[in-house]
Every structure is written in C-alpha cells, then in structure tokens.
C-alpha cells in the first residue's frame, strides 16, 4: 500500500489528532498547511527555498496547468514533480472550482461543464472523466474528484441538486481513475451552508472507501462561524483512518478551530498573495511592510522565526524593498509567510503530541 494514514496521537480534549500520511513522494506530517503552486511554481520561490519553509505537500491547479503548458507537455517532461523540481508530495485539484468561479460563459450539464478558454477563446469541456484523465497525466500524489461547486449563497434546492450530481460525478471519477496505485483520489463533501446536505454528503461519500476526504465550498467569502459550524458537523462523520483536508482555508483561527474538529490538511493562497502585496503574517497579525513605522525598524520581522528572511534581514530592509517594488521583497515575504503558516500547524502538532493543545492554542478556539 503506497498510501496510508497513521494516527500517532489523539487530543484528549478535542477531536484534534496528529498523524502521518504516507505518499509515494514521502510523508506528510499532519496537521499541516500546504502552499499553493498554481502554475507548477509557488510564486516567487525556488523548490529549494520552499523546502526550507517546512512545507511537505504542495498544491497545483489542474485548470491552470491544462491551459498552460498543458498536461501532455508535463507528462513528456516526466510528470509534475520532475517538471517543477519538487521532490515532495503534490496534490492537484480537479479544476472544478476554477471553472465554476473564474470562467466566463460556462454551461453546466450532466455530462460536465463547457467553458471558453481565457487563453485562446476555444470552447473546452471539462467532465469528471476528463478532469481525472488530466490529473492522471499530470501525475500528482493526490488527485481530487471533479465536483459541482454552486455559489456560496445558492438556495437549498440548487445546492441539493449540485450535491446529488457531485455523487454521480464521483462515481464516474472513480471509474475513470487509471492510476490508483500511484495517485490517491480524494472525494469532496459539498452541501453549501445546509447542515443536512453536508451530513448526507459525508455519509454517502464514505461508502466509496476513498483514501482521503476533503471538505469543499467553505472558503470563499464565508463567515468564520459558518466554516466552523460546517466543519464541526462534517469532519467527525469522515473516517478516522483517512486524512481530512479542508480546501482553501489557511487563516490562523480557522485552522486552529477546524484542527480541533479533526482536520489534517489545509491550503490557501494567502501567504504568497499577501507576500506579493507587501504584507507579512506575524504571530497572528497582518503587517503591511510598506508602512512608515517599519522604515527605521532594524529588528527582524519575527525574532522567533527560523526562516531565511527573519534570520537575515531587517524590517527596515523589507520596507525598503517593498517601497521600491523590488521582486526580492515579494520573495522574502512569501518565504516568511509560508514558513509562518506551516510552523503554526507544526506547533499545533507538537502541542497535541504533548497534551498541551488547549493550553497553548485555546485562545484561538473562541
């Protein structure tokens, strides 16, 4: 078995847990934050720099890679690991989220979704079979089921219909999957803001006995309280022997709260997007490094952070780089921000192992 999840420790006061998810490209120690490398690059960082952040599994986006450079080219390059120079585990999403949220002129039918390519205007059809085929071709360790993502505020019947379709599409994804020995297919719990739909979706999914499960559709502009409620209802229904991945969430509080409900994996574009806008994540806060207050601040961004940025440069230098719109500023802040979020989940991991989760992270759980 090339994929297995071992629980090393359960929290004595919450549903939090510490585990190891074994993949063909190495282990992922959970709970853990995963950075996003949309176009087979975590923006601004070399794989060598990325490795110093403590990141283990990295995401890439099927939709974007299908458009540029195309999965066939990546296959010819020897697969996505070889292509982007990342030797650790990689996860690709299904492309569904981008098609439903970014594409214009999309048209949804039972067979799948058609949309106009933003690159060359051609009509593209994405179906469960095609998404899995693209992901099989890309060759990531974890691939995601192609699901229908209704808008966050969709009414009950719309979400119910999308959730039903998501099961039918999952069956087609499983049938289409050609490389189950090399690539673990995760199912996605949808159901919008409706607890009963989330519960029935989770219960239906576990019958498929998949190697891992994700909770989707909670990240985009949703209220933190809603994320918390949905995860509290859903996560405990998912099998304890499989990893649980909360898609698109990467804020301190939501990670802490949902780890307490049993979530193991997170991803979010925040650390690199903030980095490119001159914002640093420091001990739970967001600092705009362009601010005048940092101009003559010669201390490190965070004296406790082991990252290259904090170990080498001052806030004043980062302020100078950001004010001067120097590329290095964005790279150094992205490097720090990813390290910060990975470390946050690593520290929670250590706390759970030492029976100190509530003691050390209780202030995040309110």
Q: Which of residues 277-296 bind its own copies (CB under 8 A)?
A: 295-296
Q: Is the peptide bond before 31 cis (omega within 30 degrees of 0)?
A: yes
Find out whether 251 and 217 touch, Cβ atoms under 8 Å: no
Of 17, 43, 130, 336, the residue at the interface with its own copies (CB under 8 A) is: 43
Shortest CB 6 distance to its own copies, Å: 32
Among 28, 34, 40, 210, binds its own copies (CB under 8 A): 40
In the set 141, 264, 267, 302, the catalytic residue is: 267
CB atoms within 10 A of CB 44: 19
- Please report how close the Cβ of residue 70 comes to its own copies at its closest, in angstroms: 9
| DSSP-derived secondary structure letter, 149 | -
Closest CA to 69 of 138, 170, 154, 146: 138
Q: Taking CB under 8 A as the criterion, which residues in 58-117 touch its own copies?
A: 68-69, 73, 76-78, 83-85
Residue 91 forms beta bridges with which residues?
A: 59, 142
- Residue from 16, 34, 45, 260 touching its own copies (CB under 8 A): that is 45
Q: Token digits for 292?
A: 């005048």
Other CB atoms within a 10 A radius of the CB of residue 132 amount to 26
- The upper half-sphere exposure of residue 273, i.e. CA atoms within 13 Å in the direction of its Cβ, equals 7
Strand order in the sheet with 123-126: 107-108, 113-116, 123-126
- Residue closer to its own copies by CB (options 7, 324) is 324
Are the C-beta atoms of residues 131 and 62 closer than 8 Å to each other? yes
Part in contact with its own copies (CB under 8 A); list of ranges 200-208, 209-217, 259-267, 305-313? 305-313
* Interactions with its own copies, residue window 111-170 (CB under 8 A): none
CA separation, residue 219 to residues 35, 152, 227, 228, 266 (Å): 15, 9, 7, 11, 11
Q: Does 36 bind its own copies (CB under 8 A)?
A: no
In degrees, to the nearest 5, what angle opens at C-alpha 29 toward C-alphas 364 and 166? 80
* 93 catalytically annotated: yes
Cα torsion 219, 43, 64, 171: sign:
negative
What is residue 36's DSSP assignment?
B
21, 27 in Cβ contact below 8 A?
Answer: yes
Q: Give min distance, CB of 276 to its own copies, in A.
A: 8
Judge whether 8 and 18 are in contact, CB under 8 Å: yes
- Total chain residues near its own copies (CB under 8 A): 39
Site mask for its own copies (CB under 8 A), range 310-349, x = bound: --xxx-xx-xxx-xx-xxx-xxx-----------------
Q: Which of 93, 147, 264, 302 is catalytic?
A: 93
Closest contact distance (angstroms) between CB of 45 and its own copies is 7
User: Least CB distance from residue 273 to its own copies, whole Å?
Assistant: 13
Active site residue 209: no
The distance of closest approach from Cβ of residue 83 to its own copies in the complex, given in angstroms and rounded to an integer, is 6
- 300-336 as b/e: b if 16+ CB within 10 A: bbbeebebbbbeebbbebbbbbbbeeeeebbbbbbbb
Q: How far is the CB of 290 from its own copies (least distance, A)?
A: 12
> What whole-number distance in Å separates Cα of residue 307 and Cα of residue 129?
41
Q: Which residues are catalytic?
A: 93, 267
Residues found near its own copies in the complex (CB under 8 A)? 39-41, 43-49, 68-69, 73, 76-78, 83-85, 295-296, 298, 308, 312-314, 316-317, 319-321, 323-324, 326-328, 330-332
């Amino acid at each position: 078995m090339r994929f297995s999840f071992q629980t090393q420790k359960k929290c004595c006061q919450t549903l939090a847990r510490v585990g190891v998810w074994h993949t063909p490209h190495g282990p992922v120690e959970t709970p853990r934050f995963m950075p996003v490398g949309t176009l087979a690059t975590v923006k601004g960082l070399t794989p060598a720099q990325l490795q110093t952040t403590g990141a283990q599994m990295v995401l890439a986006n099927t939709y974007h890679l299908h458009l540029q450079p195309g999965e066939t080219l990546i296959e010819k390059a020897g697969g996505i690991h070889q292509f982007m120079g990342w030797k650790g585990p990689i996860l690709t999403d299904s492309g569904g989220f981008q098609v439903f949220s970014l594409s214009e002129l999309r048209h949804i039918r039972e067979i799948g979704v058609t949309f106009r390519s933003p690159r060359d205007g051609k009509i593209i059809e994405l179906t469960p079979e095609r998404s899995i085929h693209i992901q099989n071709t890309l060759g990531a360790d974890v691939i995601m089921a192609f699901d229908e993502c209704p808008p966050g505020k969709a009414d009950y019947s719309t979400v119910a219909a999308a959730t039903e379709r998501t099961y039918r599409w999952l069956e087609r994804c499983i049938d289409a999957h050609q490389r189950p020995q090399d690539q673990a297919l995760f199912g996605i719990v949808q159901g919008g803001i409706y607890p009963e739909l989330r519960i029935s979706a989770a219960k239906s999914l576990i019958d498929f006995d998949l190697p891992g499960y994700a909770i989707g559709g909670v990240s985009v502009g949703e209220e933190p309280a809603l994320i918390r409620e949905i995860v509290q209802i859903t996560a405990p229904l998912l099998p304890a022997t499989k990893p649980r991945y909360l898609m698109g969430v990467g804020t301190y509080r939501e990670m802490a709260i949902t780890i307490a409900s049993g979530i193991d994996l997170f991803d979010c574009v925040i650390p690199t997007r903030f980095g490119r806008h001159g914002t640093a994540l420091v001990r739970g806060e967001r600092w705009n490094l362009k601010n005048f207050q940092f101009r003559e601040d010669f201390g490190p961004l965070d004296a406790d952070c082991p990252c290259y940025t904090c170990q080498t440069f001052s806030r004043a230098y980062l302020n100078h780089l950001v004010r001067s719109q120097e590329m290095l500023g964005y790279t150094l802040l992205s490097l720090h921000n990813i390290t910060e979020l990975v470390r946050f989940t690593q520290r929670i991991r250590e706390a759970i192992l030492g029976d100190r989760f509530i003691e050390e992270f209780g202030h995040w759980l309110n």
